[in-house]
Amino acid sequence: MGQINHFFLTEPHWRPRAQWRQGEIPPEVLDWLEESGSLTHRLKQSFATGFRVHVLGQAWDRPFAQDAMALNMALHRRSFVREVQLRNEQGVLICARTTIPSRTLKGLNRLARLGNRALGEVIFSYPDLCRTQLDLVRLAPSQLSPLVKDHLGQVRYIWGRRNTYTIAGRPFLVCEFFLPSVFAS
């Protein structure tokens, strides 16, 4: 795994949404995982208490192996990787990881200059944004770093989604991991 990795002890093993059986994912979780609009917008609507983005790291780095495969790129190629926490006054709601290949960033360089802005505020302003793949994962605490484990309470696992998006045919990944506080509302 690369240098930008604040969330995992082992890489997530993604499965396409279609491979999950009905009833395998709790309905209140599935509703968030399948959100097709801006997750940033939904969080702001759902949590009225001071939503903000906390950047943990961003740099050119090697993508995770499964992410490189999803982006159809060689493992040794570097991508722009950004990890953030989406928070409110009560704490961390979502841990998010974005992987943008250099070939994508050439035409969309403002994606690398977000600062503390949420990625969703930018990508959903592109009229040709398209989600081409939705993958899901269930992660046990043993797979997660202490930074994430500190926010789990007594849950046995957390859920995540990996969106493969394109803008003007240029692919990138947005992975979001939902902490228990999201479902407490």
Do 147 and 7 touch, CB atoms closer than 8 A? Answer: yes
Do 117 and 98 touch, CB atoms closer than 8 A? Answer: no
pLDDT of residue 160: 97
Do 139 and 157 touch, CB atoms closer than 8 A? Answer: yes
36-64 burial, b for 16+ CB within 10 Å, e for fewer?
A: eebbbeebbeebeeebebeebebeebbbb
pLDDT of residue 37: 93
For 118, the token pair is 């949420």
pLDDT of residue 44: 87
SS3 23: coil
Can you list the pairs that 144-149 forms with residues at least 24 positions away whose Cβ atoms lie under 8 Å?
144/7, 144/8, 144/9, 145/5, 145/6, 145/7, 145/8, 145/9, 147/6, 147/7, 147/56, 148/7, 148/95, 148/177, 148/179
pLDDT of residue 90: 82
> Could you list the mean pLDDT of each consecutive 10-residue stretch along the chain, which spans 185 residues?
85 96 94 94 85 93 95 92 92 95 87 89 93 97 91 90 96 96 81
In the chain the beta strands, taken as DSSP E runs, fall at 15-16, 52-61, 79-88, 91-101, 130-139, 158-167, 170-178
Domains of the chain: 15-184 (3.40.1410.10)
